[in-house]
Amino acid sequence: MTDYGCCAAQMLVPFGVNLIGIPNTSRSISPFHQCETLEDLPRFLETADYVVNPLPNTPQTQNIWNATLFARMKPTAIFINVGRGSAIVDADLITSLEWKQLAVKLDRYLNAMMELYRSPTYLLTPLMFASIHGHSSIVRFLLENYSHYCIVDALNYSSDFDYDSFKYEGYFYRQTALWLAVQNKHFNVVQILISLGKANVNHMADESEGKSWTPLGLACRDGQISH
């Protein structure tokens, strides 16, 4: 059991959560109500509402989270990854999301994988979420400290990618962090994304069915002009 796992469990104690830990050896660990071994993990996944992965990057933890384990989880389960390593088989996770074997994946990293960005259940990065809500200090922090992981502009999809087949009602469609900041009229965020993130003001994205705008065009349309 890592420090991440114990800290996360400790924060959940006041909420009366039934905490089950999976340490590398069978032993009692506070604040978990029950601790079992890795061999018991599939059985506990069948009833878990939330599953937290805090595993580090070691030879023993690589590819533990695979299709077999994801298939044991409830369709409503939420998988939260706070680990730093390679414990997750990304292809299996994507398949589980697409087939609705999992409700959602929450990830501590701003993952730039095209496959995850395409997935209808993995659409908002932390940078995009902060841009929507106008959290300029968070946007600046992410760009200054995690620029390698940030998706500032939409990815360059291959020429044979069929956009029409990836239109999901209620989901974001090719909209970037800058596009979302302009749409929600967060001028401070727009400034940061352009100056620090080198965001593309001419990236075309859909606002609604049949209507596409660039961030610059969207700003002009809505009268968002500043000197």
* Least confidently predicted of 42-46, 97-101, 124-128, 179-183: 97-101
Q: Is the pLDDT of residue 2 over 70?
A: no
Strands (E), 76-210: 78-81, 104-107, 205-208
Q: What's residue 185's pLDDT? A: 92
Per the model's pLDDT, the better-predicted residue between 153 and 155 turns out to be 153
**Maximum separation of any 2 CA atoms in the chain, in Å:** 64
C-beta of residue 110 within 8 angstroms of C-beta of residue 151: yes
Task: Compute the average pLDDT of residues 125-135.
Answer: 83
Among 18-22, 38-42, 51-55, 147-151, name the one with the lowest average pLDDT.
Answer: 147-151
Please report, for the chain, the start and end positions of each structural domain, with discontinuous segments joined by +: 1-108, 125-227
pTM above 0.75, yes or no: no
- pLDDT of 104 reads 56
| pLDDT at residue number 55 | 85
3-state SS record for 124-136 = CCHHHHHHHCCCH
HSE, CB side, 13 Å, CA atoms: give it for residue 164. 2
Q: What digits encode the pLDDT tens for the residues 167-216?
A: 433 344 677 889 889 989 999 999 999 988 788 888 887 766 557 888 88
Whether domain 125-227 has CATH 1.10.10.10 = no
Looking at residue 66, what DSSP letter applies? -
The pLDDT of 134-161, averaged and rounded, is 65
Q: How far is the C-alpha of 34 from the C-alpha of 85, rounded, in Å?
A: 25
Q: What is the CATH number of domain 1-108?
A: 3.40.50.720
Range 119-122, long-range pairs (CB < 8 A, 24+ positions):
119/94, 120/166, 120/168, 120/171, 121/97, 122/97
CB 166 within 8 A of CB 190: no
